């Protein structure tokens, strides 16, 4: 499968614990995006990278959230001291350089449940 992959697909954790999610974009896609989707809502933008540079962060991304893309390939999203309100689906998307005809391709998501 050459699509966007995310790991793990599901994560259950206790409040206060740290969690880390990984996203592997489509090969050679230089842009990588993170979104969060809560039940009954559309996805909300969190942050995006062009290669290894983090170019934009949403105000939804509190100090407890950090994202990295150290080599411009895969990315990680870490949540420290998780809260019940962090329970959501975390989606990753990637996009190539093919101009305006290109679009974002989404991974299957990581569903987080904070108890």
Residues that bind another protein (CB under 8 A): 4, 31, 33, 40-45, 48, 56, 58, 91, 93, 95, 99-109
Nearer to another protein, 14 or 27 (CB): 27
Q: Which residues pair with 24 in a beta bridge?
A: 5
Distance between CA atoms of residues 97 and 43, nearest Å: 23
Closest CA to 58 of 27, 83, 97, 90: 90
Residue 89: CB minimum distance to another protein, A = 9
Nearer to another protein, 9 or 15 (CB): 9
Contact assessment for residue 75 and residue 32, using Cβ atoms and an 8 Å cutoff? yes
Residue 73: CB minimum distance to another protein, A = 18
Which tokens in the block code for residue 40?
């009954």
Nearer to another protein, 14 or 40 (CB): 40
Residue 15: CB minimum distance to another protein, A = 25
Q: Which residues pair with 23 in a beta bridge?
A: 6, 75
Nearer to another protein, 45 or 74 (CB): 45
């Amino acid at each position: 499968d050459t699509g966007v992959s995310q790991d793990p697909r599901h994560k259950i954790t206790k409040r206060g614990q740290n969690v880390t999610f990984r996203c592997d974009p489509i090969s050679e896609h230089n842009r990588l995006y993170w979104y969060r989707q809560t039940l009954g809502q559309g996805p909300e933008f969190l942050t995006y990278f062009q290669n290894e540079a983090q170019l934009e962060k949403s105000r939804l991304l509190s100090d407890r959230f950090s994202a990295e893309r150290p080599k411009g390939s895969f990315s990680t999203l870490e949540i420290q001291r998780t809260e019940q309100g962090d329970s959501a689906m975390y989606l990753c998307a990637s996009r190539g350089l093919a101009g305006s005809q290109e679009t974002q391709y989404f991974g299957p998501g990581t569903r987080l449940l904070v108890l």
